[in-house]
């Protein structure tokens, strides 16, 4: 098994990281150990029963590392370590100390940004440009933002006394492994909780590297524990009586199961689940910009994005023009080696996700839809799927209703604003929507009428740590980010005058 794929990585990166030669400061671009243990109480250890899972580079299929697979006994040990830290050093730390440690963690992450970007791309398949320009800086931004709140919580929710909850269990998906880790850890720690984090089984490496930085920053042992594993590990965390809260990001099906499992137990829960975002283009929109927004909305991160704009709704009068330009733009998209800085669409995260995407598109053809893909093919090795347009869509097809989580865009047209809103809202999800129009009043009316946690206007996929993010309907509940995101990690009681 490969230990340090640096030489190969350096060649694939080319000039993207020219100033980051493997020999600089004596460190390789990225060092991947053959084996990783669980992080419990500040120490690394194998699973009690010795179980492991192998994480691969989805762009080649090559194994990267073996990672411990935590069972119920390990989860129990992690929760106990988190509890000890909560009752001990972390509970005793002042809000200002928590802020200082979070600031330090954010800076350490920035210092090693390139290493994180390369590791994220290797383990998950996303284009290096996105890992470098979006995932890592945004992860650092979440840590900085929440560091600022740690000693100002009394102002976050005026009139309420805010206390930490205790040990929180956090289960994250594979589409933004580092970002979701930072996104979840930052508010939990700022509010004074301790954490047991469960990364996704196909992309655990950046969360494990982040745990090393947590230690380096000086957080007391046990404040952040990482239990790697698959669904059973996550389920053991949900079932553990010692957790005060579960925060989950992932599929709606698993989210529903978690809610059932927690029913009646008094455990706090936030769910950030799937989506089927409508991307609505009116005939007065700046079409060239809208095309870029549409492309970013669905092909960013191979469409593995909960808030992806996966349903394009175009006003009838410009539908022909938009489709023509979109097809031409899609011809220019480069699908290939995620480590190549010119790659636009990287590898599909796992074989099972690739199979799922294929099934969706094959099913759409069987249901009478037309499929368009660019003339360039995709690499043979690894898991790749081309950018795909699905037209002749009625709305009742499976591809029009369910989250594909791949680079696949359905297209429908509409005549009036009302029709656009009705189409956009005819889904069980409610995470995101996008509107392209020059009319301000129309933007406001659409935002009022669209059932979605976030509505972007003349932009898409724009994220900021200060802005609350989350869904309605089957996209989940609770907000992450901003002041609202803090409330999910606080026990609030009114202050008596």
Q: Say which entry of Mg ion, ligand NAI, none residue 123 contacts (CB below 5 to 8 A, set by partner kind).
A: Mg ion
Restricting to residues 100-139, name those near Mg ion by CB under 5 A: 123
Structure tokens at 251: 């599929």
Q: Is 389 in the site for ligand NAI (CB under 6 A)?
A: no
- What does the alpha-carbon distance between residue 385 and residue 345 come to, in Å, rounded to a whole number? 9
487 in active site: no
- What does the alpha-carbon distance between residue 214 and residue 216 come to, in Å, rounded to a whole number? 5
Q: Considering the complex, what minimum distance in angstroms separates the CB of residue 31 from ligand NAI?
A: 24
Q: Is 468 in the site for ligand NAI (CB under 6 A)?
A: no
Restricting to residues 50-109, name those near Mg ion by CB under 5 A: 55
- CB burial of 167-197 (b: ≥16 within 10 Å; e: otherwise) equals bbbbbbbbbbbbbbbbbbbbbbbbbbbbbbb
Q: Is 171 in the site for ligand NAI (CB under 6 A)?
A: yes
Q: Considering the complex, what minimum distance in angstroms separates the CB of residue 224 from ligand NAI?
A: 16
Q: What track of x and - describes contact with ligand NAI for positions 302 through 321 (by CB under 6 A)?
A: ----x---------------
Nearer to ligand NAI, 172 or 217 (CB): 172
Nearer to Mg ion, 55 or 121 (CB): 55
Restricting to residues 204-243, name those near ligand NAI by CB under 6 A: 230-231, 234-235, 238
Nearer to ligand NAI, 64 or 431 (CB): 431
Q: Considering the complex, what minimum distance in angstroms separates the CB of residue 347 from Mg ion?
A: 10
- Total chain residues near ligand NAI (CB under 6 A): 25
Q: Is 249 in the site for ligand NAI (CB under 6 A)?
A: yes
Q: Considering the complex, what minimum distance in angstroms separates the CB of residue 463 from Mg ion?
A: 23
272 in active site: yes
Of the candidates 403, 417, 480, 487, which one interacts with ligand NAI according to CB under 6 A? 403
Q: Say which entry of Mg ion, ligand NAI, none residue 230 contacts (CB below 5 to 8 A, set by partner kind).
A: ligand NAI
- When CB distances to Mg ion are compared, the closest residue is 55
Give the binding range for ligand NAI (CB under 6 A) out of 119-127, 166-174, 376-384, 410-418: 166-174
Q: Is 300 in the site for ligand NAI (CB under 6 A)?
A: no
Restricting to residues 187-246, name those near Mg ion by CB under 5 A: 202-203
Q: Say which entry of Mg ion, ligand NAI, none residue 184 contacts (CB below 5 to 8 A, set by partner kind).
A: none
**Where along the sequence are the contacts to ligand NAI (CB under 6 A)?**
171-173, 175, 198, 200-201, 230-231, 234-235, 238, 249-251, 254, 257-258, 273-274, 306, 353, 356, 403, 405
Show which residues are catalytic. Answer: 272, 306
Binding site for Mg ion (CB under 5 A): 55, 123, 202-203
């Amino acid at each position: 098994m490969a230990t340090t794929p640096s030489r190969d990585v350096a060649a694939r990166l080319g000039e993207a990281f020219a100033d980051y030669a493997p020999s600089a400061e004596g460190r390789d671009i990225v060092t991947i150990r053959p084996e990783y243990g669980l992080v419990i109480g500040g120490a690394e250890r194998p699973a009690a029963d010795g179980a492991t899972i192998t994480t691969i580079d989805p762009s080649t299929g090559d194994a990267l590392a073996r990672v411990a697979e935590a069972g119920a006994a390990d989860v129990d040990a992690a929760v106990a370590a988190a509890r000890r830290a909560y009752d001990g050093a972390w509970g005793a730390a002042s809000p200002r100390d928590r802020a200082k440690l979070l600031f330090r963690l954010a800076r350490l992450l920035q210092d090693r940004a390139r290493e994180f970007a390369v590791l994220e791309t290797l383990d998950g398949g996303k284009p290096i440009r996105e890992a470098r320009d979006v995932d890592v800086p945004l992860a650092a931004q979440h840590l900085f933002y929440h560091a600022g709140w740690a000693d100002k919580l009394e102002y976050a929710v005026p009139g309420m006394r805010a206390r930490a909850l205790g040990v929180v269990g956090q289960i994250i998906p594979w589409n933004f492994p580092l970002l979701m880790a930072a996104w979840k850890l930052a508010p939990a720690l700022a509010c004074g909780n301790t954490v047991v984090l469960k990364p996704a089984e196909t992309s655990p490496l950046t969360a494990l590297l982040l745990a090393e930085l947590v230690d380096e920053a000086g957080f007391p042992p046990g404040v952040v524990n990482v239990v790697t594993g698959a669904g059973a590990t996550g389920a053991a965390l949900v079932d553990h009586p010692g957790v005060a809260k579960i925060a989950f990001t992932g599929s709606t099906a698993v989210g529903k199961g978690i809610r059932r499992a927690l029913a009646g137990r008094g455990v706090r829960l936030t769910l950030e689940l799937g989506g089927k975002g409508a991307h609505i283009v009116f005939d007065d929109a700046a079409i060239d910009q809208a095309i870029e927004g549409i492309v970013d909305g669905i092909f960013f991160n191979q469409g593995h994005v909960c808030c992806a704009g996966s349903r394009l709704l175009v006003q009838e009068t410009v539908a022909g023009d938009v489709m023509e330009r979109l097809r031409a733009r899609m011809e220019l998209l480069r699908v290939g080696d995620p480590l190549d800085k010119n790659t636009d669409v990287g590898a599909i995260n796992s074989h099972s996700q690739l199979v799922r995407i294929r099934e969706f598109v094959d099913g759409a053809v069987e249901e009478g839809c037309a499929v368009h893909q660019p003339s360039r093919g995709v690499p043979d090795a690894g898991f790749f799927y081309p950018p795909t347009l699905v037209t002749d869509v009625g709305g009742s097809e499976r591809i029009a209703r369910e989250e594909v989580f791949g680079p696949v865009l359905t297209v429908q047209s509409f005549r009036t604003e009302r029709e656009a809103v009705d189409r956009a809202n005819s889904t069980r999800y409610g995470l995101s929507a996008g509107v392209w129009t020059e009319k301000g009043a129309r933007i406001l009316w659409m935002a009022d009428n669209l059932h979605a946690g976030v509505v972007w206007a003349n932009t898409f996929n724009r994220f900021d740590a200060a802005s609350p993010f989350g869904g309605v309907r089957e996209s989940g509940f609770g907000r992450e980010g901003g002041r609202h995101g803090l409330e999910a990690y606080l026990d609030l009681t009114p202050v008596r005058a």
